[in-house]
Structure 1
Amino acid sequence: MPLKTEAHVARASGITLEKVTYTDLAPDELYVEIAGASVCHSDVRAAQASFHLKPPLILGHEGAGYVLAVGSNVTYVSPGDAVVLAFCWCGICRRCKAGKSAYCERIGGLNFSGRREDGRGVVVGAEGDEGGKGEVNGKAEVSGLFFGQSSMSRVALVREECCVKVEGGWGREEVRRFASLGCGLQTGAGAILYVLL
């Protein structure tokens, strides 16, 4: 059943909070109720159309929250689990199998196409779409799955590989603070550990 929520959509005219409708979940996807999202320079560049994925799109790649529902093949997380969201990786290419998911052979399409690998979109309607139908020339106008997640929304549709389960019974306020771990810590720690040291 499609899910209706609100999301921050970047368009040529600026960023607005809009009502959006997501498709049904694919087997490897889940809905996450977002407790917190951080803003990164990549979000700003994408909103300005100077990044891999261009507007209109739902922004966000530093999110944390709680799993609402899961697709039929999702096994790592369950509804109610707290998660931090990160970039998407396939999990089956030789680099992923070698523990080098940051060098996934399919990373571009999974994070910057705005669509599923089979070409289908995940947003079937957005308030600001042309004519309010959510489609232009038979295709969804608004892209989702930015970095595999588009987490600047009340609920995000993400792939299972984007999730890192947060153990320990953290409360909503703590989970909200974990949002920047998905990109900020990974990027910052990577730069320090592998470039400066």
Structure 2
Amino acid sequence: MVTAAEQGRETRARLMAAATELIAEHGWGAVTTRMVAERAGLRPGLVHYHFTSVTDLLIDASLQTARTEYENVMTGVLAASGPAAMRQILTAISSYTSTDPATVAMSEMMLAATRHERLRRELGRFVAEARAALAEWFRDQQVVADPAATAAVVLALIDGLILHRLIDPTLGSIDPTGPLLRAAGLTEPIASEGNSDDHAHEGERNQD
């Protein structure tokens, strides 16, 4: 027999799943209580029974999506070592497309975070947790002198790649593996063309 508490959790889950889908389809500001209830197959009154407002529902749904996405990516990364971890990140990025509801919802969430303090605060906590975990990974790998700064840059690059792919899907044809590995200190930097010329001239002078 299903208890009242279990039924309540199921109802909340259905409402948040419906909200995430609608955010991706219509944008944060267009989602209404009635839209969510209809998508979830529930009475509109249940939205306000479980959430103070539709905004609180959207925030909770978005935060749950963000938590799930960050944990899915970071679990794989932290279990790997060296370049394999960064390739794990790239594998995750390749699954994010302009038609993926979770990805679109997260982009809407980031914009909404500039207007809603609770969303900004909680999303910031997720990002800080991911950054701290990645910084600890870099310390264990002993590949960079500044693990915390490297973790911040790598996570920013990852978020940027995802957002840019939402805007320009053709970026999916570009392989960012090399640049990301270099940013993470996992490969030797490639000498610039100018430096190569300098070394060539230096060799010629030594021969003279």
Both structures adopt the same fold (TM-score exceeding 0.5): no
Using CA pairs under 8 Å that are at least 6 residues apart, name the structure with larger relative contact order, 1 or 2: 1
TM-score (norm. length: structure 2): 0.23
Relative to its length, the structure with more strand (as a share) is 1
Relative to its length, the structure with more helix (as a share) is 2
Larger radius of gyration: 2
